[in-house]
Amino acid sequence: MTTMAVANPLADLEQLDWRVVNDGVMGGVSTGQVTVEDGAVTFAGELSLDNNGGFASIRTAPRSLQLGQATALQVTVLGDGRTWDLTLRRGDVPIRAGSYRVAVTTDTEPVTVEVPLAAFRPTSFGRPVAGAPALDAAAERVDSIGFLLADKQPGPFRLAVLAVVPVGEAEARGPGHDQVRAALAEALSVGVPAFNRGDAGGCRDAYEAALKGIVDQVALTAGEREIVRGALARGRTQAAREAAWTYRYAIDTVLAGAERR
C-alpha cells in the first residue's frame, strides 16, 4: 500500500489525555501506570489472573482523531515480546466493555506496523459484536485510541508507544448504497420467516445469495467487503443454521454502517 501522511492529531502523544483502565473495574487486581515523556507513552505494571481478572489497558479520553481520510495506522511500539490489542473507539458506536481491536506483537526493539482500519473488528468481552458497523464505515468518528493486554500470561509488562501516524488516502465510496440496502432488506424479508418456520437452509440460501451479490459493490468500504468475504468463506463450511447466523452478522454489519453514513 502506498503510504501517504495525512492530518495527524496523534503527532504529539504527550498532549493526549491517557487513562488507565485495568481489570480492577471488574474485581481484578492487575496493576499499571502510564507515564508520558520525551514524546513517548509508557505503560508498565503487572498482569494478574486473580479474582477472575486478566487485563490491563490504557486509552485516550474522547476527542476527534481525524481519521476520515486515512486507510491505516502506522504504529511504532517498544515492548517485551507480548501481544497487545490496538484499540479504537467510535463515539457513535457504544460497545459495552469493548472496542474495535487488532492484535499487535511487540519486540524488545522498536517495531513499526501498519494496520489497515479495515482490519479492526468490534469486540465486547473478547467476543465479536453482532450488528456493529465496520470501523471504516465512518472512520472520521473515531475518538479514542488505546492498547489492551489480555494474553492470559500473568507477570510484569511494559509497553512504550513511540509514534502513531495515520496513513493512506481513503477511497471514495461509489454509488449504490440504496441498492445494497434494498438487496439486504429483501434477503431479510425472505430469510427471517424461513428461519422462524424451521427452514434454516432456505434462510441461509437467501442470505448467501444477497451477500454474493453485494460483495464487489463499490458502495461498500474495504472493511465491509472483508467482513462479507469472510462470512461467505466460513458459511460454506458450516451447517445451515450456523451459516445463517454467520451471514446475518455480515448483513447487520453492512446495514449498520449504511445507517450511520
- Taken in order 98, 103, 109, 112, is the CA torsion positive or negative? negative
- The 10s digit of each residue's pLDDT in 142-160 is 999 999 999 999 999 999 9
> What's the chain's average pLDDT?
91
The arithmetic mean of pLDDT across residues 53-82, rounded, is 94
pTM score of the predicted model:
0.85
Q: How far apart are CA 170 and CA 221, in angstroms?
A: 9
CA count, 13 A, side-chain hemisphere, 119: 13
Residue 260 has what pLDDT? Answer: 58
CB 77 within 8 Å of CB 111:
yes
Q: CA-CA distance, 250 to 255, in Å (whole number)?
A: 9
Cα–Cα dist 44/26, whole Å: 20
The band of 25, judged by pLDDT with boundaries at 50, 70 and 90, is: confident
Percent of residues, the chain, with pLDDT higher than 70: 94
Q: How far apart are CA 79 and CA 104, in angstroms?
A: 11
Q: How many CB atoms lie within 10 A of CB 149?
A: 25
**H/E run at residue 66:** none
* Predicted pLDDT at 2: 47
Alpha helix (H) residue ranges in 51-170? none
Dihedrals φ, ψ of 132, to 5°? -75, 140
CA 168 to CA 3: how far, in whole Å?
5
**What pLDDT, on the 0 to 100 scale, is given for residue 1?**
44
CB 117 within 8 A of CB 73: yes
Instruction: Give the relative orientation of helices 200-214 and 177-196 as an angle to the nearest 10 degrees.
Output: 170
CA atoms within 13 A on the CB side of 1: 18
The CA–CA distances, whole Å, from 38 to 50, 54, 144, 153 equal: 34, 30, 21, 29
What pLDDT, on a 0 to 100 scale, did the predictor assign at position 170? Answer: 65
Could you read off the pLDDT of 56-68 as tens digits, one per residue? 999 999 999 999 8
d(CA 39, CA 61): 18
The CA angle 28-34-36, to the nearest 5 degrees, is 170
Q: Say how far apart CA 51 and CA 227 lie, in whole Å.
A: 35
